Amino acid sequence: MQVIDTLLPEVKLIRPKRHRNPRGVFAETYSEAVLAAFGITAQFVQDNHSISLRAGTVCGLHFQIPPFAQAKLVRVVRGAVFDVAVDLRRGSPTFGRHVAAILTAADWSMPFIPEGFAHDFCTLADDTEVVYKASAPYAPTHDRGIFWADPDLAIDWPVAEEAAILSEKDRRQPRLAELADWFHHSPPAGPERRGDERPAHAG
């Protein structure tokens, strides 16, 4: 299993090693011990499965506020998505910046998105399925979001704003500048162990 740096230091891209034989493929898609060795210590308590029927469906940008803030480990099991994480931590040198990656069922790469980051994806294929682990249960009273096409985020989405398929809730989300100070950046106590490949794109 590879743990790969992105341009947002706390967001990692995880790539399972696949073992092929005449019968098929085996992979270890989650290992608490391996991830902990790279400083990823989130304790996951819930698995979620999302199915989007049409390409151009946008889900997010979503996050939960404390005490139900969530870290996520995201994987595409069918189709493909343009996946985005945005830093919401006040005082962070990367506050308001994002990292994006294309995730496909064929590639198996999985972003780890810690607490204090909003998450979103746009489907690139019909009948796309996304599964993800969450470190806190869904809490409707603590569920929040940002408007996905906020120009201050400068995200180069693969779908035009007028063509995106959205929920009514996501059409009404606030802009980044309107968010309360729910998350704050705490500098790491010591050097972090780094991943072993080039970073994903960030904006």
Q: How many residues does the chain have?
A: 203
Rounded Cα distance, 70 and 146, in Å? 15
Rounded Cα distance, 71 and 83, in Å? 15
Task: Decide if 49 is catalytic.
Answer: no
Task: Decide if 185 is catalytic.
Answer: no
Q: Which of 19, 30, 98, 132 is catalytic?
A: 132
Residue among 200, 61, 43 at smallest CA distance from 135: 43
Q: Which of 19, 30, 49, 62 is catalytic?
A: 62
Residue bearing tokens 């992105």: 6
Catalytic residue annotation:
62, 132
